[in-house]
Structure 1
């Protein structure tokens, strides 16, 4: 993703089949999703055919070859599903596969939810056309809601369709391309309807551990992006702290005018804190400038924290099962069968090393 977007926004998309099977608010929206998914399926080509075609551009051949090596590794070494997903390729001719529209009330950080039979409730609506997403956002703003649109470069249909590699995914470097194949296949391995933080933390752990094993198997040193990761975490922490202050504000007894002014003051504080951090610790590196300087509202803060919240818990669970992927996946599924409160308590214990 462009630096301004944070990588967690670029992949935050529910399985589209779930949307297709779910009740949509309008027939037009339903038809739009159906047409978009159908066009994507029609654009797929077997990777093997492209690799055998001498007319295929050498750079595309290199990236697709790498993707197939990662795809083989995912099933043979990480025990991820062995199917035709990511053995196909589709060039959609656009920078994002879908655009997700997030919305919240003016004085709340609770998302407007959209619930579907397979995916459960998700905090956004997906659109295959940016213009439609913008139109939907305009209608929601007329209702007094905060809105935000984020471009998405990859999503999983949980194995209901053979998900292709997309031209949007090839914008990433080699390490990110391999990582996202592992991440999206993890969603096919296990998905818990209605618990985004659980699903994304699980898939993020599989991505990271899978990438570590991938590099080890090839005798490669994993790319040292520790400084970038540190900066990203510091930025996420800033946003999460701002979100907590907003939660307290919205729970207060201020009238609407005072609360509105305090809300804007909090966003200005977030900008000031970011600028100070950038100068104090990053040497002026402005990798998140575009995000922070563009309009801020509640909806724009929604995705933060979803991908990392339970990663240490899943790492502990993996260690408990001595790195046995099959046993780990069974344990994940057992966690998913627990009632929500018990599942949260079990994750807390794992997170704490218990």
Structure 2
């Protein structure tokens, strides 16, 4: 997820000294807080709820290796309580008249469409500086990040309090997503990397719940997924409407200012449609607080960020089915096929996935 930008700071000194220092210090602090899961489970101070969830996390971890053929290494065998709601905060920026993310580039991992901070205050300071440049910006709390397996020698990526209490299906999906980054990662292509990991998390989460989830967990997850599908459709629709406006502006100089009124109308329609959608969901309003905040503050950066995770996912899902689907052989052929795509140019990868 968005913590990939942290890794770039850990592996190169080409960022500003301040950014480099906060990344190194933040990650070292996180690693120092991590304890082996077996130790936390045995600790009499550990609550029964956390003990049960940690035990389940290890079942999920074994499932990732045995069923999904994801890396078998040190990651997710330790637990850290960070005493904060997010592991890192991600900054995403885009111009007001285009759905194109600003990128930050590093010698080791290449370019990424987000920048991660361990301090929310520092992330928001960066956002203010970008806004002063005329960009639209969002700051998002991120529950987990991947070091791509390059720090497994030091204990690997730990389980965190920021996501350990997620619903069962969500916890499994998050672990599968982050481990996917350790399996396949392509320089300079955030959309490819995130869409691949998102496809694995959805496919793996579905299989985990089918084989190991309780009836209640499957029912709750199905309801959550239905809401997500509806919301993703709304976001795709709005993104398409905005893209059409920006495309027209790029070819018609007379729209230099009038496009803003059209954009405002599209965003008002988006929020109205969301309100209608949200009214049909029912349940505790507090459950939708983060989504409500996302919608109320949505801008070009928000839609760019969502596209990074979703746009290429259908292509990966079709590729999975083409390679044999949910069998050990199918998973292996799927990863082989993704590796072949990784060897193509960015444009060729997109063309192949959209075909």
1:328 aligned onto 2:334: yes
Q: Does structure 2 conserve the Cα–Cα contact (< 8 Å) formed by 1:240 and 1:304? A: no
TM-score normalised according to structure 2 size = 0.86
* Structure 1 residue 115, shift from structure 2 partner: 1.2
State the match for 2:271 in structure 1: 271
Matches within 5 A, 1:264-343: 264-279=264-279, 282=281, 287=288, 288-292=291-295, 294-322=296-324, 323=327, 324=329, 325-343=331-349
State the partner residue of 1:352.
none
Counterpart for residue 58 of structure 1: 48
Using a 3 Å threshold, how does the CA distance of structure 1 residues 223 and 118 change in structure 2: closer, same or farther?
A: farther
2-side partners of 1:248 and 1:313: how far apart? 23
Q: Does residue 172 in structure 1 map to residue 162 in structure 2?
A: no
After superposition, the CA RMSD in angstroms is: 2.4
The alignment covers a number of residue pairs equal to 337
Cα deviation for residue 219 of structure 1 reads 7.4
Checking the alignment, whether the CA contact within 8 Å between 1:32 and 1:128 is kept in structure 2 is: yes
Match of 2:260 in 1: 260
Q: How big is the shift at 1:319? A: 3.3
> 1:177-219 deviations in whole A, cap 9, x for unaligned?
1221111111111111222222222222222332333334437
Residue of structure 1 equivalent to 2:224: 228
In 2, the alpha carbon distance for the partners of 1:217 and 1:283 equals 29
- Residues 302-348 of structure 1: CA deviation (Å, up to 9, x unaligned): 22233333334333333343331233222211111122232223212
Tell me the alpha carbon deviations over residues 252-311 of structure 1, each in whole angstroms, 9 at most, x when there is no partner.
Answer: 2245443333332322222223234445x557996443332x333222222223333333
Whole-Å Cα distance in 1 between the matches of residues 51 and 223 of structure 2?
Answer: 31
TM-score normalized by the length of structure 1 = 0.86
1:23 deviates by 5.2
Whole-angstrom distance in 1 between the partners of 2:41 and 2:300? 46
Structure 1 residues 140 and 315, CA gap change in structure 2 (3 angstroms): closer
Q: Which runs of 5 or more residues in structure 2 are unaligned? A: none
Q: Is the 8 A contact 1:17 1:160 kept in 2?
A: no
Give the structure 2 partner of residue 97 of structure 1.
87
Name which of structure 1's ranges 106-115 and 227-236 shifts more when overlaid on structure 2. Answer: 227-236
Which structure dedicates a bigger proportion of its chain to helix? 2
